[in-house]
Structure 1
Amino acid sequence: MTQTSQPQLPNTVDSREQEMLQEMPITKHLVVLRKHLFKIVSLLIGLFFCLLPFANRTYQILSEPLRAQLPATSTMIATDVTATFMAPFKLNFFIALMLAMPYIIYQLWAYVKPALYAKEKALALPMLIGSIGLFYLGISFAYYIALPSILHFFISVSPETVAPMTDINSYLAFCLKLFLVFGITFEIPIITLLLILIGVVTTQQLVEKRRFIVVGCFFVAMFVTPPDALSMIMLAVPMWMLFELGLLAGKLLEKRRNAESS
């Protein structure tokens, strides 16, 4: 009498994991979530205090694009007594958050991973890694390309009788908004691909509505950037190009799906 071994298939394992998750009470889920959140907060606090001695130096690096554009007789100012402390303090937390972002994404991934099927896991992980890389790329684009160009434009058009002296808190708020806008904007390929994957839209529908999407890119850029044409163009054009990149990836994915189904 022969015994035949029956290896467990990935789908069987996934279904068992999902059954166990469904049987878990809501309090158990909250306990698991609290564990992951505790790890995230611990890392943020640790990074924050490790970077705190370099807070003033970090702000000098951030203000370099502005100081390079200011006239020799101009400088940055602080209109509030606490600004010289709070501005580097806020920037330090932002830097800690950016450095911790891969770990934060990993912890969130570890929390939702048991609820995903094997095929969903295979697609989700590369998209998460890609989203982190694109977010950092967007911030780098904003700092090295967009920010110097925008600052040069505003300072060059200022009247000769006005000496530009920017408040350090105002400059920090301006930079952080710019970084977040470009960081989120560079997620467009991931968002486009995700919408195609879950079946909300098809590549054919996106191609048919391309002209409306391009107009929408300029419309959105007009409201989230400073009130000048240069800022709007520097955001709208990358938005358009990133949409085209996501559309191309979606076409390749649909072509692969059709080849597997045939």
Structure 2
Amino acid sequence: MTPPSELESIPQQDPPKLYDPADYESNDDPDYDPYLDEIPDEVEMSLFDHLEELRIRLFYAIAAIAVGFVGCFVFVKPLVRLLEIPARGVTFLQLSPGEYFFVTVKVAGYSGLILASPFVLYQILQFVLPGLTRRERRIIGPIVFGSAFLFLLGLGFAYIALIPAALQFFTNYGAGVVDQMWSIERYFEFVLLLLFSTGIAFQIPVIQLLLGTLGIVSSQKMLSGWRYIILGAAILGAILTPSTDPLTQCLLGGAVVGLYFGGIGLVKVFGR
């Protein structure tokens, strides 16, 4: 048996430090526990369970897109007329058998995808969110819905501003020389491409907010590269616009610059 004198000489180790909420940021909510922000809510699942969950979510998403396509195909003629409105005074021609049919399939497909996109986003979130921490969920939720809003805003900007400007340029350029009779397939390829390329370009603030929130790039760093952004916006406007007229390219390039500086403001608001 060890004598008491020897026991007193043995260094006493500090007990392991337990989680103390005072070590973390304070919050006004008495039920707030910052430690839980770093813990996923989901119980660990096997690879097979993840694949099964993914299969179910994909099935629901594809089914929603299919339903949206069928619904839009039933009412495709009003959609076609809506997209023909910017081309006032133009006669559309079907230059080959089935050309109009394939145009309606494209229009119904794109419209069905847009119509089903909220449900598709919901399925994506249902698959991803359970495995994320609370802090990550607070980031990804606004980013996903902000991305959807900006995409729709881009579609509206293209329909109201870009498409009429481009068509007006081409119509005036050939006025008095050629009759304005266009292939309906070529016209809708032009319109659909411009719509969706503008929607993609409007995702710039979302990318900036994601980079700023993750601490990859600060708002000050983004602001310091404004000269390169103006050059990049001009190049992006030339690439994304299917037309070659300078007015449409300048409109899209100006929108990109405005979105970029707006994204800097958002990153600044979030303290980055």
Q: Give me the whole-angstrom Cα distance separating, in 2, the residues matched to 1:10 and 1:197.
A: 18
Cα distance change of structure 1 residues 51 and 186 upon mapping to structure 2, 3 Å threshold: same
Instruction: Work out which of the residue numbers 58, 80, 93 in structure 1 matches 2:109.
Output: 93
Matches within 5 A, 1:209-220: 209-220=225-236
Distance in 2 (alpha carbons) for counterparts of 1:191 and 1:129: 13
Return the alpha-carbon distance in structure 1 between the equivalents of residues 220 and 198 of structure 2: 27
Structure 2 stretches lacking a partner, 5+ long: 1-30
Q: Map 1:1-262 to 2 at 5 A.
A: 9=33, 11-12=35-36, 15=39, 17=41, 20-21=43-44, 24-66=45-87, 68-70=88-90, 75-158=91-174, 160-225=176-241, 226-254=243-271
Deviations 1:100-154 (A, max 9, x none): 1111111111111012110111121112111111111110111111111110011
CA contact (8 A) 2:40 2:131 kept: no
Note if contact 2:38-2:135 (Cα within 8 Å) is conserved in structure 1. no
1:36–1:111 CA contact under 8 A, matched in 2: yes
Distance 1:16 1:87, change over 3 A: closer
Question: What root-mean-square deviation, in Å, do the aligned CA atoms of Structure 1 and Structure 2 show?
Answer: 1.9
Contact preservation (8 Å) 1:11, 1:118: no
Cα shift at 1:194: 0.8
Normalising by the residue count of structure 2, what TM-score does the alignment of the two structures yield? 0.83
Deviation sequence 1:197-218 (CA, Å, 0-9, x none):
1122111111111111111111
Q: Greater helix percent: which structure?
A: 1
State the one-letter code of the partner of 1:251: K
SS of the equivalent of 2:86 reads helix
Equivalent AA in structure 2 for residue 254 of structure 1: G
Relative to the length of structure 1, the TM-score reads: 0.86
| Per-residue CA distance 1:69-122 (angstroms, 9 max, x = gap) | 43xxxx101122011211112101111111111111111111110121101111
The answer to whether the 8 Å contact 2:65/2:116 transfers is: yes
In 1, the alpha carbon distance for the partners of 2:70 and 2:59 equals 17
Q: Aligned in 2, Cα 1:193/1:12: closer, same or farther, shift over 3 Å?
A: closer
The one-letter code matched in structure 2 to 1:94 is Y
Q: Residue 220 of structure 1: CA displacement?
A: 1.4
Q: In the aligned structure 2, how far is the partner of 1:13 from the partner of 1:142?
A: 40
Give the stretch that moved more between structures: 46-55 or 190-199.
46-55
CA distance in 1, matches of 2:115, 2:254: 28
Q: Which has the larger radius of gyration?
A: 2
Structure 1: segments with no counterpart, 5+ residues: 1-6, 256-262
Alpha-carbon distance in 2 for matches of 1:14, 1:29: 21
Q: Is the Cα–Cα contact under 8 Å of residues 135 and 186 in structure 1 kept in the other structure? A: yes
